[in-house]
């Protein structure tokens, strides 16, 4: 039963369209009505806040029971392999994730090219989200149709928090990614 739930959870991580985030950067307000005009940061505000180089410090579980095992994050590697990874997110959208963690299934020194952007759902359709797709050697970004979206929760000059919804049998949970800025 746990394997079935894990398989469903893994599938949902890559296919689930993420809901709007509940936390906002400092100095912004949040509306509790989904039909009210958004008062959070715009997609361009978020892009300016997210671009740069970040180190992933933690991946925390929010409302995710301990019995749920996450075998892979972004269909790449176990969560512990992402801890300490460097995410380079330049303004042109051509970034990469460089891995440094040691571990049984980790590949320290490996790097994954990505194309990233801020998804803008449009006025009154939710909050902007961070989105990226992995680019393998020989791939053209326009031909890659699989990608990932994370809710943007918080950003300031030194910290970035993004949340990835995980659908579970009795509700929704999150993997919470906390980064610190390198430059």
- Quote the distance between the C-alpha of residue 139 and its chain's center: 22
Most confident of 5-19, 37-51, 163-177: 163-177
Q: What is the pLDDT of residues 112-168, one digit of tens each?
A: 999 999 999 887 788 899 999 999 999 999 999 999 999 999 999 999 999 999 988
Spatial separation of the C-alpha atoms in residues 90 and 95, rounded to whole Å: 6
Place of tokens 């949970």: 173
3-class secondary structure, 73: strand
Domains and CATH numbers, the chain: 2-18+40-181 (2.40.128)
Which positions ≥6 away from 180 have C-beta within 8 Å? 54, 55, 57, 158, 159, 160
Over its C-alpha atoms, the chain yields an Rg (Å, rounded) of 16
Report pTM. Answer: 0.76
Phi, psi of 16 (to 5 degrees): -70, 130
């Amino acid at each position: 039963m746990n394997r079935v739930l894990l398989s469903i959870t893994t599938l949902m991580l890559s296919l689930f369209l993420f809901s709007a985030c509940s936390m906002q950067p400092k100095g912004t307000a949040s509306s509790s009505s989904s039909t009210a005009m958004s008062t959070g940061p715009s997609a361009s505000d978020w892009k300016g806040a997210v671009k740069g180089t970040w180190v992933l410090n933690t991946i925390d579980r929010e409302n995710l029971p301990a019995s749920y095992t996450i075998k892979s994050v972004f269909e790449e590697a176990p969560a512990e392999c992402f801890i300490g990874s460097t995410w380079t997110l330049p303004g042109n959208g051509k970034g990469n994730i460089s891995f440094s963690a040691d571990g049984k299934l980790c590949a320290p020194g490996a790097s994954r090219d990505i194309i990233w952007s801020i998804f803008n759902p449009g006025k009154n359709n939710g909050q902007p989200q961070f989105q990226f797709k992995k680019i393998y050697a020989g791939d053209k970004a326009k031909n890659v149709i699989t990608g990932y979206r994370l809710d943007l929760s918080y950003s300031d000059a030194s910290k970035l928090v993004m949340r990835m919804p995980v659908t579970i049998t009795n509700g929704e949970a999150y993997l919470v990614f906390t980064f610190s800025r390198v430059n």
